[in-house]
Amino acid sequence: MGTEACDDRGSTNAGDGSSDKCTVESGYTCTNDDGVDQASTCAATSCGDGVVTGLEECDDGNLESKDGCSSSCVIEWGWNCSRLVCGQSSCNEVCGNTIKTNGEGCDDGNSDDLDGCSHSCIVECGFVCDGAEPQICVSECGDGILASDEACDNKDTANDDGCSSTCTKEAGLGCTKTTCRQTSCTAICGDGLKVGNEACDDGGSTNASARCSDECTVECGFVCDAKECQVCASECGDGILASDEACDDANTISGDGCSSTCDDTESGWECDTTIACQETTCEQCAAGKYELDGVCQDCPAGTHLPTEGSSSSLDCIECQAGQYSNSALTECNACTNNSNSFKTNTTLTACTCNTGWTGPDGGECIACETGKYKIDQGNWPCNQCGSGKHSNQTSAISETACSECSENSDPNIKSSACRCQIGFFGDDNTECIASKKDTNQDAIGSVVCNECPANSVSPEGSTAKTVCACKLGCQGKNGGPCQPEVKYLPSDASLQDLPSASDVMVKMVVGLKFL
């Protein structure tokens, strides 16, 4: 009555729904028929109402199983549930009890970490747990997650990539080891093991002839064996100049400039060995050249060499007199005609005109003409024969070629022939004879004398026409013309008074006698 929530009349026992203080007990509901004077009827609440009552071990407010409190309000295996009278149960999985409940990823019966199932029953990265009780968790090799006793895991189960098919580290490779991450493995260059993408690994050799690079790549011209540590050597005849090779012309044949062992260039050849990693090209030294320290050199000026493949400057032959050479010639050049030179001359200008010839050094030489001579080698002009001398020789080499002219020759003559002086006649270089009586010679060297004009006379050796004078009984100027002289006589003159008939003519003119 009054403020009572319930009253079951006559019972003060607890656990029947109405307490001894007339309050509704937890887990019960009570109803009053009239709400005033009738006894209350109390009944236990049902499972799933969130109130633990009666025989309920738990009540989590639902009728679902596998959440710790079953659908019949019984605590499920592997769970702990709080049991609050007249309160809702709170259920939690028990981690480490070997029983995997819904909220657990795993339960291996312990609280250890790094064994696949953590202390909070979470599956650790890289592990797979089975369904047994207790669960067994193992790492999975090849899943790309480093876990458990794996030394590496590079997300495959292949060998020879640094991490083996069983996730153990392979020799010669370095692998990053980060828990729960994929392993990255790279070859360790210089450890003497050829692995991964290494082309070679000579263990970091410092030998100058070892040609595995610092990046473990095979350097050009080398071949490396399969040993540990690898040995790399150049291969003679592969056409790649490398290591201690002096040359490599892509064969192992001698006699072509590069020896069969590639250790030397052959004498008389020049090989281009300046570009590493390429084929050596060899050429035999041409005629006019010789080989010195692997390079073809020109024979010096003033020499020649007609053959190929020479290996010494001593093979270069000196040019002889009358020859010259600049350099690298197969034969010496001959001086121009009628010129000469000393031995080992180096230029054309060393060729100078011979005696008896004249011209510029190295140029055309012309013979000294008659009446001249030249006694010295060189570009000197020819000398004239002296006065009163002559020479009919060409290319005369001495003054002795000049002969004295005969008597009565022109004393000023300097030519190839002696010519008679004025008043004398005769062929050149012969005796000069005085011009005959009644003739004259008025030119030097004439071979014919001139006759005096008619009715004129001259003495021997006459030198001009004007020397011819009119004969007695003739009149006219010297050199003619001369006409017979005319005389007039009285009519009574006798013949004895007349000149001889051979000297005059008499003629009668105008009544006179003219003889």
Confidence check: pLDDT of 466 > 70:
yes
pLDDT at residue 473 in the model: 86
Strand 389-390 with 414-415, pairing: parallel
> For 231-235, 267-271, 489-493, which range has the lowest pLDDT when averaged over its residues?
489-493
pLDDT band at 429 (very low <50, low <70, confident <90, very high): confident
pLDDT band at 398 (very low <50, low <70, confident <90, very high): very high
302, 309, 465 from 299: Cα distances, Å: 9, 12, 76
Q: Which two tokens stand for residue 164?
A: 């083996």
More confident residue, 333 or 91: 333
- 8-state DSSP, 336: P
pLDDT band at 493 (very low <50, low <70, confident <90, very high): low
Contacts of 74 (CB under 8 A, 6+ apart): 57, 58
pLDDT band at 503 (very low <50, low <70, confident <90, very high): very low
The pLDDT tens digits for 344-382 are: 788 888 999 999 999 999 999 999 998 899 999 999 999
CATH placement of domain 405-484: 2.10.50
pLDDT band at 492 (very low <50, low <70, confident <90, very high): low
d(CA 82, CA 59): 9
The whole-number average pLDDT for the span 226-251 is: 79
d(CA 85, CA 59): 10
What is the CA angle 362-367-373, rounded to 5?
A: 110
More confident residue, 399 or 503: 399
pLDDT at residue 179 in the model: 59
Confidence check: pLDDT of 498 > 70:
no
pLDDT band at 206 (very low <50, low <70, confident <90, very high): low
The pLDDT tens digits for 44-99 are: 668 888 887 777 888 888 888 888 888 888 888 878 887 665 667 777 778 888 88
d(CA 129, CA 111): 15
pLDDT at residue 178 in the model: 61
pLDDT band at 340 (very low <50, low <70, confident <90, very high): very high
**Maximum average pLDDT range among 1-5, 212-216, 352-356:** 352-356
Domain ranges for the chain:
405-484, 487-515
pLDDT at residue 509 in the model: 31
pLDDT at residue 184 in the model: 67
What is the share, in percent, of the chain residues with pLDDT greater than 90?
Answer: 15
Confidence check: pLDDT of 208 > 50:
no
The whole-number average pLDDT for the span 481-497 is: 66
Which contacts qualify for 443-451: CB closer than 8 Å, 24 or more apart?
444/410, 444/419, 444/420, 445/410, 445/417, 445/419, 445/420, 446/420, 449/425
pLDDT at residue 133 in the model: 79
pTM of the entire predicted model:
0.40
Contacts of 173 (CB under 8 A, 6+ apart): 161, 162, 163, 185, 186, 187, 188, 195, 196
> For 50-54, 155-159, 417-421, which range has the lowest pLDDT when averaged over its residues?
50-54
pLDDT at residue 86 in the model: 60
Contacts of 492 (CB under 8 A, 6+ apart): none
pLDDT band at 177 (very low <50, low <70, confident <90, very high): low
pLDDT at residue 312 in the model: 92
Confidence check: pLDDT of 38 > 50:
yes
pLDDT at residue 2 in the model: 55
> For 93-97, 261-265, 478-482, which range has the lowest pLDDT when averaged over its residues?
93-97
pLDDT at residue 110 in the model: 87
Q: Please provide the DSSP assignment of 166-182 as one string.
A: TS-BPTTEEE---TTS-
The pLDDT tens digits for 272-320 are: 876 667 778 888 899 999 999 888 999 998 899 999 999 899 999 999 9
239, 342, 386, 415 from 393: Cα distances, Å: 72, 27, 15, 10
Contacts of 189 (CB under 8 A, 6+ apart): 198, 201, 214, 215, 216
Beta bridge mates, 169: 163
The whole-number average pLDDT for the span 484-494 is: 63
d(CA 247, CA 258): 6
3-state DSSP call for residue 219? coil
The whole-number average pLDDT for the span 384-389 is: 85
Contacts of 511 (CB under 8 A, 6+ apart): 491
pLDDT at residue 511 in the model: 29
pLDDT band at 504 (very low <50, low <70, confident <90, very high): very low
The whole-number average pLDDT for the span 459-478 is: 88
pLDDT band at 506 (very low <50, low <70, confident <90, very high): very low
| Average pLDDT along the chain | 79
Confidence check: pLDDT of 119 > 90:
no
